[in-house]
Structures are given as structure tokens and as C-alpha cells.
């Protein structure tokens, strides 16, 4: 059975442990540089406060590799949160132990505490039994609202869950699961996927799963370079994952056999390096030796827009080029705008850089769903069961 939501659980006077994703970028001075992830969990936290819960928040931040490191402290997060909630937020000085226990025990109804960075102990990522049990001892109710880590089986996302009888998802997690579910199973057709960015290895699982579900797959970014190279196009010194050429060839062959349309760039924007102030548009038949492809060209963007114009469902992950640099942003911005113009289609964007690109294009309000999870959204759409969600099903 599907997981319960926090709205269905009795919270009054109970210690409600909420696993949040407060893995936010920090400024060099140690402030929160982008609080999106904190803001996105506010509805869940506020709901718990209003229901009279004793709120215990827990998150990881960065990669402190199992040791307490001050530069990865959740202190700036706790300060931001206190400001946003307009109430005290007590930060325990450790994720688990006597200090953490005391902070939790001292909570009053409607009070908020946050444990120190979960990854200050190796038990978190190791999904250690003892650490899981200790975390569970702080919880009468367990809520997971950390979609971004739902694909990881850690102590705070999986290990502790079996020791807490009352459990469910927060509003953010619930929305992610409901919206991303629209892309698996019975989708509104045609289903078009646009995959760009880098790292064929990270995305090949998704690409293969799309072969049996999508009507068209449009490729861009460095991803497309590898596929163009696999088709024999000389790519100059473009970023190409040569070790992934066999996988790319196999994918193209399977797509052809299965009748899935693969749209590869027909033109490219090339330059000597990504710092160049201008790029040159060339047909995607041969990139000169001293040049590299940093964006798809205008004809490619127009072709993708035309495929999109008929779509019923669209999923986009990975920019079409080095969109951070103005001369190579046009392809990515054009795709974002084409997606935002669709009426009646379900449009979903996932992946840190792709989401940033959608905001940069100024079209976020016209996208059906912008996923907060990078790896987690890719695995969900690939059809994998996320351990963090599976643990909550009863």
C-alpha cells in the first residue's frame, strides 16, 4: 500500500522526526547561499508545528565523510530556519548521543529541534543498525520529506524506519512521488524525453528504460557528442566519453529496432574552448580538430521544439550545452521555452543544472513539475523503487 502522508497521522504532543533535505550550498562566509531546499520543506514543518508536534529535524550537508567538521555544521541552516519560522530552533551539537537526546527530550509541543549533520557519523551512510536504533529512539512518528536522498538506503532514510510504528511522507515527498508517477505506467502520449548534460554512465539506465516507454528521445549537450561520435561523426576535441561508445551504439540500434525516434543534433555551436566569447554554428557532420561542440545549433533546437509541439508528456534532464556561458546558452534556453509553451501536456524537469536552466530561462511557472531530486528523480523515472519510499509502504 502507498505511504501515508503526514496529514493522515496523529502528531499532537508526539516527537515527530522529519528527515529533510537541507543539503544546501553555503557561501564562503558560512551563510546559506540558496535556501530553496529549506523553503520547500517549510509546509511540512509548519504543519507539524501547528498540530502540536515536538519536531525533530535531521539532514545531511555536504560530504564530511563520517567525521564532525565545523565547515559542514547545520548551524547556518538552523539560523535560516529560525528566521523563516519566526521561532527558536535548537541545534543539537551532534547527530546522536546524550546531547542530542537531551535536546529532543527538552522539546515542548510545537517546539523545533534539529540534529547536527547526520553524516558526522559513519553510521548514516553505512545504514548502521545501532545508529538507526538511536535515531529511532528520538521518534514517535517518522516522516520522510527528503526526496533528494530517497534513492539512498541510509540510516535516516531506511534503517531507522522499521523501528518506528507511525510513519509517512511529508508534503514535498508526496508531491514528487505523485508528479513523477505521471511519467511511469500509463502516460499521456506522445511521450518525449529530452536528455542532455554529461555522463552517459549516470543516464544510460534511464535512456534504456525510455526505449520501452518513450515515443521520442531527443539528445543534446555533451551526451549527444558521444552519440554523434558513435555514428562516426568526427567531434574535434568535444567532450566525448569514448569508453561509452559501444553502449551508445547499442542504444541507437535498439531504438531503431523498437521504433523509438532518436533526435540527434543536426547542427552544433563550436568554439576552440568553452571560454570563447562567441561560437560558430556548423552542420553536425564534422567538428574541426581544433574545435569542440558546446551547444546544439538553432536548427536542432527548432527540431526539438517541433517534436515537443505534439507531445502529451515531456521529461527533460540535462542542458543542451554549456548554458552557464552566454555564447552556448541558446539551445538550452530555446528548449526550456518550447517546453513552457505546451498547453495541456505534462512537463517535468529534473536534475540540478536543468532546473537552474529553467529558472534562468524565466519559465519555471509554466512547467508542470520541477523536481528537487537529481539522482532520485532519474531513478524514479527509470522505474526503480526508491528505498526511502519503499520503506514507508505498509
Q: Min. distance of Cβ 148 from Mg ion in angstroms? A: 13
Q: Is 236 in the site for ligand ADP (CB under 6 A)?
A: no
Decide if 375 is catalytic: yes
- Sheet with 54-58, side-by-side order of all strands: 89-91, 112-114, 54-58, 15-19, 141-144, 166-169
Cell numbers found for residue 97: 548521543
What is each CA distance from 312 to 183, 214, 245, 343, 346, in whole angstroms?
Answer: 11, 11, 31, 9, 6
For residue 326, the minimal CB distance to Mg ion (Å) is: 19
Task: Locate 363 and state its grid cell.
Answer: 519559465
Neighbours of 394 (CB within 10 A): 10
Interaction of residue 321 with ligand ADP, rule CB under 6 A: yes
Q: Which one of ligand ADP, Mg ion, none is in contact with 316 (Cβ closer than 5 to 8 A by kind)?
A: none
Q: Verify binding: residue 279, ligand ADP, rule CB under 6 A.
A: no
Q: How far is the CB of 123 from ligand ADP (least distance, A)?
A: 29
Segment lying near ligand ADP (by CB under 6 A), choices 74-82, 193-201, 205-213, 298-306: 193-201
C-alpha to C-alpha distances, 246 to 239, 242, 253, nearest whole angstrom = 16, 9, 11
Q: Assess 265 for contact with ligand ADP (CB under 6 A).
A: no
143 contact, one of Mg ion, ligand ADP, none, CB 5-8 Å limit per kind: none
Can 199 be counted among the known catalytic residues? yes
Per CB under 5 A, does 375 bind Mg ion? no
Stretch that binds ligand ADP, among 20-28, 32-40, 101-109, 346-354 (CB under 6 A): 346-354
Question: Smaller CB distance to ligand ADP: residue 201 or 253?
Answer: 201
The distance of closest approach from Cβ of residue 92 to ligand ADP in the complex, given in angstroms and rounded to an integer, is: 32
Sequence-distant (≥ 6) Cβ neighbours of residue 164 within 8 angstroms:
17, 136, 139, 140, 141, 142
Closest distance to ligand ADP from the beta carbon of 208 (Å): 17
Closer residue to ligand ADP (CB): 78 or 322 = 322
Q: Is 373 in the site for ligand ADP (CB under 6 A)?
A: no
Phi-psi region of 110 (alpha: psi -120 to 50; beta: other; left: phi over 0): left
222 scored as a contact of ligand ADP (CB under 6 A): yes
Choosing from 14, 15, 19, 37, the catalytic residue is: 37
Nearest to ligand ADP of 6, 320 (CB atom): 320
The grid coordinates of residue 384 equal 526503480
Does 293 participate in binding ligand ADP (rule CB under 6 A)? yes
Please tell me which residue in 266, 375, 383, 384 is annotated as part of the active site.
Answer: 375
Instruction: Please indicate whether residue 66 is annotated as part of the active site.
Output: no
43 binds Mg ion (CB under 5 A): no
The dihedral region occupied by 185, where left means phi > 0, alpha psi between -120 and 50, and beta the remainder, is left
Q: Which of residues 316-355 bind Mg ion (CB under 5 A)?
A: 352-353
Among 44, 300, 317, 347, binds ligand ADP (CB under 6 A): 317
Cβ count within 10 A of residue 204: 18
Q: Judged by CB under 6 A, does residue 367 bind ligand ADP?
A: no
**Is 352 in the active site?**
yes
Active-site pick, 101, 199, 261, 337 = 199
Partner in contact with 93, chosen from ligand ADP, Mg ion, none, beta carbon below 5 to 8 Å by kind: none
Q: Are strands 292-296 and 280-283 parallel, antiparallel or unpaired?
A: unpaired
Answer for which of 236, 319, 387, 388 binds ligand ADP (CB under 6 A) is: 319
Task: Return the residue of 354, 371, 372, 377 that touches ligand ADP, per CB under 6 A.
Answer: 354
Residue 199 interacts with ligand ADP (CB under 6 A): yes or no:
yes
Q: Which residues bind Mg ion (CB under 5 A)?
A: 352-353
Q: Which residues bind ligand ADP (CB under 6 A)?
A: 197-199, 221-222, 225, 239, 293-294, 317-319, 321-322, 324, 351-354, 374
Q: Which residues are annotated as catalytic?
A: 37, 199, 352, 375
Amino acid at each position: 500500500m502507498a505511504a501515508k502522508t503526514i496529514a493522515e497521522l496523529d502528531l499532537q504532543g508526539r516527537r515527530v522526526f522529519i528527515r529533510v533535505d537541507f543539503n544546501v550550498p553555503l557561501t564562503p562566509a558560512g551563510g546559506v547561499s540558496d535556501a530553496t531546499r529549506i523553503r520547500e520543506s517549510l509546509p511540512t514543518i509548519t504543519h507539524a508545528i501547528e498540530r502540536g508536534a515536538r519536531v525533530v529535524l535531521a539532514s545531511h550537508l555536504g560530504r564530511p565523510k563520517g567525521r564532525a567538521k565545523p565547515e559542514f555544521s547545520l548551524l547556518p541552516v538552523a539560523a535560516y530556519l529560525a528566521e523563516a519560522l519566526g521561532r527558536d530552533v535548537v541545534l543539537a551539537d551532534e547527530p546522536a548521543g546524550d546531547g542530542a537526546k537531551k535536546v529532543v527530550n527538552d522539546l515542548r509541543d510545537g517546539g523545533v529541534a534539529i540534529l547536527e549533520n547526520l553524516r558526522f557519523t559513519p553510521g548514516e551512510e553505512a545504514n548502521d543498525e545501532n545508529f538507526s536504533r538511536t535515531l529511532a529512539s528520538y521518534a514517535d512518528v517518522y516522516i520522510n520529506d527528503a526526496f533528494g536522498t530517497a534513492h539512498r538506503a541510509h540510516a535516516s532514510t531506511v534503517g531507522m524506519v522499521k523501528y518506528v510504528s507511525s510513519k509517512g511522507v511529508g508534503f514535498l515527498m508526496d508531491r514528487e512521488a505523485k508528479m513523477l508517477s505521471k511519467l511511469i505506467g500509463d502516460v499521456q502520449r506522445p511521450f518525449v524525453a529530452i536528455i542532455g548534460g554529461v555522463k552517459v554512465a549516470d543516464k544510460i539506465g534511464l535512456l534504456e528504460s525510455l526505449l520501452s516507454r518513450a515515443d521520442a528521445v531527443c539528445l543534446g549537450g555533451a551526451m549527444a557528442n558521444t552519440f554523434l561520435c558513435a555514428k562516426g561523426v568526427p567531434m574535434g576535441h568535444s567532450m566525448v566519453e569514448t569508453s561509452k561508445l559501444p553502449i551508445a551504439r547499442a542504444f541507437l540500434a535498439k531504438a531503431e529496432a523498437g521504433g523509438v525516434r532518436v533526435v540527434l543534433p543536426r547542427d552544433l555551436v563550436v568554439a576552440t574552448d568553452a571560454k570563447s566569447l562567441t561560437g560558430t554554428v556548423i552542420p553536425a557532420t564534422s567538428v574541426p580538430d581544433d574545435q569542440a561542440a558546446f551547444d546544439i545549433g538553432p536548427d536542432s533546437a527548432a527540431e526539438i521544439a517541433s517534436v515537443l509541439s505534439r507531445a502529451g508528456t515531456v521529461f527533460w534532464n540535462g542542458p543542451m550545452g554549456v548554458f552557464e556561458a552566454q555564447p552556448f546558452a541558446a539551445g538550452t534556453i530555446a528548449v526550456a521555452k518550447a517546453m513552457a509553451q505546451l498547453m495541456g501536456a505534462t512537463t517535468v524537469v529534473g536534475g540540478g543544472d536543468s532546473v537552474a536552466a529553467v529558472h534562468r530561462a524565466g519559465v519555471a511557472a509554466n512547467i508542470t513539475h520541477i523536481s528537487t531530486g537529481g539522482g532520485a528523480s532519474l531513478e524514479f523515472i527509470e522505474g526503480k523503487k526508491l528505498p526511502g519510499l519503499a520503506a514507508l509502504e505498509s
